[in-house]
Amino acid sequence: MRSGADFIVVGGGSSGCVLASRLSEDPDASVLLLEEGPKDSSPWIHIPVTFYKTSKGNLVKPYRWTPNAEHLGDPEPTMVQARVLGGGSSVNAMVYLRGQPRDYDEWRDAGAEGWGWNDVLPYYKRCESNDRFANDLHGTDGPLPVSDQQFTHPMSRRWVQACQQAGLRYNPDFNSGDQEGCGFYQINARGGRRGSTAVSYLGPARNRRNLVVKTGVRVLRIIFAGQRAIGVEALVSGRRTVLHAGGEVILTAGAINTPRLLLLSGLGNADKLTRLGIPLTQHLPGVGRNLQDHIEVSLIHEVNGPFSYDRYKKPHWQFLAGLEYLLFRRGPCTTNVVEGGAFFRSSLNDDRPDLQCCFMPGAGVEAGLDTVPGGNGTTLNICQTRPRSSGWVELRSADPLEAPIIRPNYLQEQYDLDVMCEGVEFGREIMSQPVIAKYLSREYAPGPVRSRAEVLAFVKSQAHAALHPMGTCKMGSDDMAVLDPELRVHGIDGLRVCDNSAGPNLVSGNTNGVAIMIAERAADFIAARHGFISGRMADARNRIGPSARP
């Protein structure tokens, strides 16, 4: 294994694969991408419908999180993070969303100068290869496939009609900047295959001589010379190894592991690091704080016939669907199951949507959710898109192999509870509309729940993480900011964070697209910093000075 490179990218997930691919486009820049998990060789990764296998198998790593008083469910709850090349883009449901323009304008207003909607839109367009839209809002020539569903279940179509009967307008494009309404999600897939960043970005780059990708490597900490990052210490084949970075160390390990690595490397709250016996590199009290994540609850209904994907649990239906896929690359195996969606407003936020629905014509698709006694069911996930509750990630000890303490503080704010209750109530209204109600025999969850107090109890006991963590190394200029607007760690030279940790606030919707956009922007920042156009890496490195707080 090469002992170093100009750029060491730590974390081969959605952001890391994008960044490694973009940086290695310059033949004079050597790039080393390190991923703790395995290669993306499992066949279940690449068949869209089998995401339910990858999202709860050995390609994800469970972390226990500490519940607060508002959480009345599992006393030892877990969240999972991807542990495979491609990261979340290899195991998620492939839903492609950007959020709302105001999400990014609020990033800019929070100190992330240059990250407003008009600033980030060109990078969303750059990444996209959209198979339906070709306009000022979408790209058609990017690496990332963004496609309509090849197969849509009739029950999903009925559900979108039910949304319209409940008063929502049809929205043909949730990524236009106007998110409100109901419709069908576009997904990161094409030709019946998942379009992860490992496939779409890293795949075409794998034969470049200046790019090395190593899986099964666990990074333990960052190595510094004074206030400059010069490499990482990692477990390679069970042995501690130092890998040197001539240009930069770039963390793309996600909103849980990126702050963990910074803390292990002496970047964080000075008092807390001292108590753990970790030598201080830079006092940055915001590292690991500001943890934000979406929370959701599921409404589950029993269907009065074989009118859902649950019929494919029977062997003969599985055989027929599999045969159609193998022969023609079409049919139900090409779906991500999460076909229909909607965004709407609670009464507490009357200027833009703050609730999201994801409809699945099946029950028990996601980990932790029940099937129904009758065998055929539907699931409607209700998600609050901009919660006010926030938490933190901290170290248990100085041991780099010990899991961190994760305290998301889900539903700690009464506002979040009130919004979620309204979401449940409107979700039930959708499911009661005639176009879909005639196919439903009963509501399995929440069940016999009627009063607001009962709905509140249901939310507290059944809410679960949507697994979209952000914000733990936020950009900005305040005392709790960790990064400058070019994603450089304050006070440290040669170190950046280029994943969803960087976002000051959670965006409205699924976050995989955000991670890709951030990496696309980061590639431009790094190229400009190191003079990629001239290709004179050595000269560029001599010109680099430490980043400082503005």
Catalytic positions are 468
> How would DSSP label each residue in 399-412?
-TTSPPEEE--TT-
Positive or negative torsion for Cα 41, 326, 88, 116: positive
Question: Cα–Cα distance between 3 and 527 in angstroms, integer?
Answer: 23
- Collapsed DSSP state (helix, strand, coil) of residue 394: strand
What letter does residue 523 receive in the DSSP assignment? H
Smallest CA-to-CA distance from 179 within 294, 124, 101, 93 is with 101
Positive or negative torsion for Cα 458, 464, 468, 473: positive
Contact 179/96 with Cβ under 8 angstroms?
A: no
What letter does residue 303 receive in the DSSP assignment? E
Q: How far is CA 262 from CA 10, 240, 267, 341, 505, in A?
A: 12, 18, 5, 37, 20
The CA-to-CA distance between both ends of the chain, in Å, stands at 39
Task: Show the tokens assigned to 197.
Answer: 């960043």
Q: Is residue 297 within a helix (H) or strand (E), and if so which, with residue range?
A: strand 295-303
Task: Show the tokens assigned to 344.
Answer: 């709407």
Strand runs labelled E in 334-425: 340-344, 355-360, 377-384, 391-394, 405-407
Q: What is the rounded radius of gyration, in angstroms, for the C-alpha atoms of the chain? A: 23
> How would DSSP label each residue in 229-274?
EEEEEEEETTEEEEEEEEEEEEE-SHHHHHHHHHHHTTEE-HHHHH
303 Cβ contact list (under 8 Å, min separation 6): 155, 310, 372, 374, 376, 377, 378, 439, 440, 441
Q: Is residue 154 within a helix (H) or strand (E), and if so which, with residue range?
A: helix 154-165
Question: Cα–Cα distance between 508 and 179 in angstroms, integer?
Answer: 9
Q: How far is CA 526 from CA 6, 259, 444, 486, in A?
A: 11, 21, 52, 9
